[in-house]
Amino acid sequence: MAVGGAARAGEGGGGGQRPVVLVPARLGTRDLARLASVGLRTRKLRAGLSALGIAIGVAAIVAVLGLSSSSSAGLISEINKLGTNLLTVTNGQTLFGQTAELSVDAPGMIGRIGPVTDVQYDGTVSNAEAFRTPLIPSIDTNALSVEAASLGLLSAVGTTVAQGSWLNAATAQEPVAVLGAAAAQRLGIDRIFEGERIWVGDEWFYVAGILNQAVLTPEIDSSVFVGFPAAETYLGFDGHPSEIYLRAVTSQVNAVDSVLAATADPEAPNQVDVSQPSAALTAEADAQGAFNDLFLGLGAVALLVGAVGVANIMVISVLERRSEIGLRRALGATKGHIRLQFLSEAVLLSVIGGVVGIAFGALSTAVYASTKGWAIVVPPLAWGGGFGAAVLIGAVAGLFPALRAARMSPTQALWSI
C-alpha cells in the first residue's frame, strides 16, 4: 500500500515514470560500530563502571571454572603418572562379621591371570604395634599398623623411597623396618642414621628407610613395613596377606577387576574387596568441582547485578539522549536504526565487560595454578560461556531501553527538552 502511494505520487509528479520507492538505507557494520560506541566515548567513566559489573561476574565464573579445571587437571595428571592400572584386593568380612583372611596362595593365583603384570602384597601383623621406644604407653599407637611386605611392593603401589633404602632379601630376614611417610612423621623420625631403631612388638627394629607419600594407596603411608620372614620370626605373623596390589595391562583393567574376587578366594568371593584406587581419586577430583557450584552461583549473581547495571545505564542514557534520538530521526533514522543503535551499545558495553572479565579470570587462574604447580586450564566452557553470557546479558539488558528509544516520538524528543 505504501509503495502504491509512492507510485501515485510519482504519477502526480511526472506521469508514467518509474515509481519512486522510499526504502531506508541499511547501516554498515562500521557505521553501526561507530554508533554503538557513541555512549561509550562520550561517557567513559559511566560506561567503564557499568562494564565493570559485567567484568566482575564473568571474571568470577571464568576463575572458578578455570581453577577447578586446573586443580582437577593437576590431580588427574598425577594419577595418570602413577598409573590407572593399579587394582587392590583386600580381605573383607565373613558372613558373621569377622575379618576374613586372604589365602596365602591368593597372590600366586592372581599372578596367573593373563593381563596381570605384577602382584605384590602385604599382611597386617595384627598383634604388633610400633613405638618410638618401649617407654611409650602401649595405648599411644599413633594409629600405625605393622605390615609384612613383599619386596616389590613399592613399584606396585607407585611410591618411592625418600631416605635410606627399601627392604631387600637380606634385611627382610632381620629386624629391620621401613616407615611410611605418615608413620615416620608420627614417630618423630625425619632422617635415617645408623643404628636408629624403633620398638616393634617386643623387639628393637632398625629403621632402614622412609617412603614418599603414596597418593594412590594412602594406607601405605601410615604403615611400618618389615619383611615377611622377619615378621614370622620376630612378631609371630601367620603369613596371610591382607592387601594385594596388582598392576594389569591398562586396557584389560576392567576385565581383570571382574574376575579378581573369584580368583583371590574361589570359595568365598564375597569375602574379598576389590577396588581401583585411581578411579576413586578421579571421582574425588570430579567431586571437587561440586563445591564450585556455590561460587558459580555467586558469579551468576554478580552477572545479574551487572546486567541490571547495564540496563539502568541504558535507560538513563536513552532519557538523556532524547535530543540525539530526535535529531537522528530527523536525519532519517528509522525506529529500527534507533533500536539497533541502543541495542548494540548495550551489547558492546557488556562485551567489553565480558572480555575484561575473561582476561582477568584467566589471569587469576594462571597465577594461582602456577603457584600450585598445576597445568593452567581455562576450559572453553568458561571463556566461551563467559563471552556468550556477556553478549546475552547485553542484549537482554539493552532490549527494553532500545525499544523505549525507538518508540520515542521524534517531535517530543526534539521539542520537549
Binding region for another protein (CB under 8 A): 1-2, 5-6, 8-10, 12-15, 17-28, 30-31, 38, 41-42, 323-324, 326-337, 409-411, 414-415, 417
Q: Would you give the DSSP letter of residue 19?
A: P
Q: Which is nearer to another protein, 46 or 335 (CB)?
A: 335
How far apart are CB 336 and another protein at their closest, in Å? 7
- Rounded Cα distance between 55 and 58, Å, is 5
Closest to another protein by CB, 391 vs 414, is 414
Shortest distance (Å) from residue 341 CB to another protein = 10
Shortest separation between residue 381's beta carbon and another protein, angstroms: 39
Least CB distance from residue 52 to another protein, whole Å? 22
User: Residue written as cell 582476561?
Assistant: 359
Name the DSSP class of 99: B
CB closer to another protein, 247 vs 329 = 329
Q: Which is nearer to another protein, 15 or 137 (CB)?
A: 15
Q: State the Cα–Cα distance between residues 226 and 223, nearest whole angstrom.
A: 10
353 grid coordinates: 565487560
Shortest Å, Cβ 4 to another protein? 8
Q: Is the dihedral of CA 175, 176, 182, 185 positive or negative?
A: positive
Q: What helix, strand, coil percent values describe the chain, rounded to 5? A: 55, 15, 30
Closer of 2 and 135 to another protein (Cβ): 2
- Cβ of residue 395: shortest distance to another protein, in angstroms? 23
Distance CA 44, CA 315 (A): 16
Alpha carbons 128 and 121: distance in angstroms, whole number: 18
- Contact partners, residue 16, CB within 8 Å, separation at least 6: none
Closest separation between CB of residue 36 and another protein, Å? Answer: 13
From CA 338, how far away is CA 87, in angstroms rounded?
A: 67
Residue (291 or 415) nearer to another protein, CB: 415
Q: How far is the CB of 350 from another protein (least distance, A)?
A: 21
143 or 417: whose CB is closer to another protein?
417
Q: How far apart are CA 301 and CA 369, in angstroms?
A: 25
Task: Give backbone dihedrals phi and psi of 151, rounded to 5 degrees, phi first.
Answer: -75, -25
DSSP state of 93: B
**Is the CB of 265 or the CB of 324 nearer to another protein?**
324
First-to-last C-alpha distance (Å) of the chain: 35
Helix axes 29-36, 335-372, angle to 10 degrees: 80
Q: Would you say 4 or 373 has its CB closer to another protein? A: 4
Give dist(CA 341, CA 37) in Å, integer: 9
Phi, psi of 103 (to 5 degrees): -70, 150
> Nearest approach, Cβ of 24 to another protein (angstroms)?
4
Cα-trace Rg, the chain: 37
Q: Which residue do the cell numbers 562485551 mark? A: 351
Q: What gap in Å lies between CA 126 and CA 98, rounded to an integer?
A: 14
What does each C-alpha distance from 301 to 46, 53, 184 come to in angstroms? 21, 11, 48
Between 13 and 373, CB nearer to another protein? 13
Instruction: Supply the minimum distance, in Å, between the C-beta of residue 6 and another protein.
Output: 6
- Selection from 380, 375, 382 nearest residue 73 by Cα: 375
Q: Please say which residue, 121 or 342, places its beta carbon nearer to another protein.
A: 342
CB of 331 to another protein, least distance (A): 6
